[in-house]
Amino acid sequence: MIEPVYDVTLKNNLVIAKISGDWNIQADIGYLTSLDETISRVRNVPWALFADLRGWRVSEEVINYKHNKTIQLARSKQKAECWLVDSIEQGQHIQHHIENAHIPFIKVTTMQEAEIWLSQYDFHIKST
């Protein structure tokens, strides 16, 4: 078992979330709290989210945990969301949140794809 790790930073109105390891409910709640606190710093300006999910593994217990179906982030000024994943299937249990928000969204498997896609919305990973 690999310890769950998360880090959420904000640079140039790009929220950068990095999560990895064997996810559990405690890590999920801590991560979502950190994510919400970081988003609160850009709620009044256009912003985007880049999530690096490589190495993130989620148990059925976490997938089926009730808050995964009800949690809502404030996305009113969000312009785009990009997930860097190990496989396109990764994160399907939470994907409905972003799809229901009708914000441009993509999953990619390389950092280059992420940078190119986010740059069309004027957000840049490398310059952050």
Indicate the pTM of the whole model.
Answer: 0.91
Predicted confidence band of residue 72 (pLDDT cuts 50, 70, 90) = low
Q: How far apart are CA 42 and CA 74, in angstroms?
A: 10
Average pLDDT value for residue range 61-83: 78
Predicted confidence band of residue 9 (pLDDT cuts 50, 70, 90) = very high
Written as six digits, the tokens of 116 are 């190119």
Question: Of all helices (H) and strands (E), which one includes residue 52?
Answer: strand 47-52
Predicted confidence band of residue 67 (pLDDT cuts 50, 70, 90) = low
Looking at CATH, the fold of the domain delimited by 5-119 is given as Rossmann fold (3.40.50)
Query: Mean pLDDT across the chain, nearest whole number?
Result: 90
Given a cut of 90, is residue 76 above it in pLDDT?
Answer: no
Residue in the block written with tokens 């709640």:
29
